[in-house]
Amino acid sequence: MRFIKKYIAALYLTNRFYLMLLLCIILFVISFFIPVIFTAVQMVLVIFILLTITDYIFVFVLGKPPDAKRIIADRLSNGDENTITLIVKNNLPFTVDMEIIDELPVQFQKRDWKKLFRIKANAQKQIEYKLRPVERGEYGFGRIILYVISMLALVKKRHNINATQIVSVYPSYLQMRRYQLLSQTIIQTEQGNRRMRKIGHSMEFEQIKEYVRGDDVRSVNWKATARKASLMVNNYTDEKSQQVYCVIDKGRLMKMPFGGLTLLDYAINSTLVLANVCLQKQDKIGLMTFANKMGSLLAADRKPFQRENILQLLYNQQTTFLESDYEMLYMQIRSRIKQRSLIVLYTNFESLSGLNRQLNYLRSIARHHLLLVVYFENTELHKLTKTDARDIEDVYIKTIAEKFEFEKRLIVKELKKHGILSILTSPQALTINTVNKYLELKARQAI
């Protein structure tokens, strides 16, 4: 059984073999009408059989089987291009062609992944390719399958290399690293930098120093002035260790997909980036999730392991198909978040009536905290508004799309009227817009 498995079951015939066999058949048919060439055709068949046997010996008998291994990170980043590396070594004493098949996780639904390359004797080759997962969870990689083909290319041998591996896909930590530079004190935009006017006066004391021309006379410390017999002023620095809570809605509206990812995944990736920026700014960052009932809660903290805590908590979050309970959310925030904080609420409103049903609860939250509501543009509706109408049906569809898009903009004005900050953004621009808004509020000392 082992003999059959090693020397017969792994044998595959190439396209060249079948073409040569077809050529021999055609020549034998021709020799039936032209008997003179029959002996020559027999010689061609014998040569073909000898070449096949020789090729079989090259591939199955000479040298050792090839080696292959897969190099992959312990974690993959959701929604990003992740690099996978395959290292293949040819242990045969001659140059061969190889077909390599990597059995990808079922989530990618790829059944035609194959690479063909040539590798010299006793040489090693490195192959890189990229995968973009669009959902969190565990991904199982299977075997690495190699087909070895000699230069004659009449037969090939299959090698199954056991490389099964389970890899977890986490929220986008690659995006988190990409936006680390945004923790600077200026606001970063794709168009450039802009200055922000402060709306308050920082009251976090740093030191007492001698007065120099240009210092704010309102900061004169009269007690220190009396002791030193010269003007002394208090020096203040930007306040730190302020609380920021990211609140993620897991209701049915967050299941809507854009670019392969759901709105919930976009919100989770943005939360991870914002948490990293907040920790770099020495603010305390916390997390809360909710739907029809309360989800996870992580108290605000700025310790180094808080980033890992947030990453692990976000890993298992799933969308529900029920309506979100904002009354319950308000009660939880009132009972669990005692200190005034910046509440970044990731949610979605498709219409003004949908907002009005929850507006009283949002206003109640805004009375005790600085509330920032982040919701999404419907990019498909936006595309419809830009298309040309060719008939009455297109006019009707375009009009309805413009109506819903206009209501999205009305939601911004309605929230602003009640003193609630908001961001209306496309899913792709969610992270940069949210981080910029946080930095703007931080620069204005609005938190």
- What 3-state DSSP class applies to 271? helix
Residue 180: per-residue pLDDT: 67
Closest C-alpha to 207, from 232, 185, 239, 225: 232
Q: How many CB atoms lie within 10 A of CB 265?
A: 25
Q: For residue 186, what pLDDT is reported?
A: 46
pLDDT at 111: 86
- In 281-332, which ranges are E strands? 284-290, 294-301
| Cα 80-81-86 angle, rounded to 5 deg | 145
Burial (Cβ within 10 Å: 0-12, 13-18, ≥19) of residue 203: exposed
Nearest to 344 by CA among 314, 372, 375, 376: 372
177: left (phi over 0), alpha (psi -120 to 50) or beta: alpha
- Residue type for position 318: Q
DSSP output for 415-445 = HHHTT-EEEEE-GGGHHHHHHHHHHHHHHTT
Among 81, 128, 133, residue whose Cα is nearest residue 100: 128
CB 296 within 8 A of CB 311: no
Report in angstroms the alpha-carbon separations of 307 from 76, 108, 432.
17, 29, 19
Other beta carbons less than 10 A from residue 182's beta carbon? 20
Q: How many CA atoms lie within 13 A of 429 on its CB side?
A: 15
Closest residue by Cα to residue 75 from 178, 175, 172: 172
- According to the model, what pLDDT value does residue 182 have? 52
pLDDT the model gives residue 266 = 93
430-443 and 263-280 are packed helices; what angle lies between their axes, rounded to 10 degrees? Answer: 30
Give me the pLDDT at residue 241, please. 76
Model pLDDT, residue 237: 65
pLDDT value of residue 187? 45
Cross-strand bridge partners of residue 126: 87
Return d(Cα 71, Cα 149) in angstroms, integer: 24
β partners of residue 247: 288, 345
Q: What are phi and psi of 443, to 5 degrees?
A: -65, -35
Q: Note the pLDDT of residue 191.
A: 44
Strand partners, 243: 284
Residue entry with tokens 């990229």: 130
| C-alpha to C-alpha distance for 368 and 420, rounded to whole angstroms | 12
Q: Please name the helix (run of DSSP H) or strand (run of DSSP E) that holds residue 130, with its range, or none.
A: strand 124-131
Q: How far apart are CA 165 and CA 167, in angstroms?
A: 6
User: What pLDDT is attached to residue 223?
Assistant: 84
Nearest to 174 by CA among 275, 314, 77, 280: 77
DSSP 78: T
Q: In a structure prediction context, what are the per-residue pLDDT tens digits for the chain, which is 447 residues long? A: 666 666 788 889 999 999 999 999 999 999 989 988 999 999 999 999 999 999 999 888 887 889 999 999 989 999 899 999 999 999 988 899 999 999 999 999 888 899 999 999 889 999 999 999 998 989 999 999 999 999 899 999 999 999 999 999 999 888 877 776 555 544 444 444 444 555 555 556 667 888 887 777 788 888 888 888 888 888 776 666 789 999 999 999 898 888 888 999 999 999 999 999 999 888 999 999 999 999 899 999 998 889 899 999 999 888 888 889 999 999 999 999 989 999 999 999 988 899 999 999 999 999 999 999 999 998 888 788 888 888 888 888 888 888 888 899 999 999 999 999 999 999 999 999 999 899 888 888 777
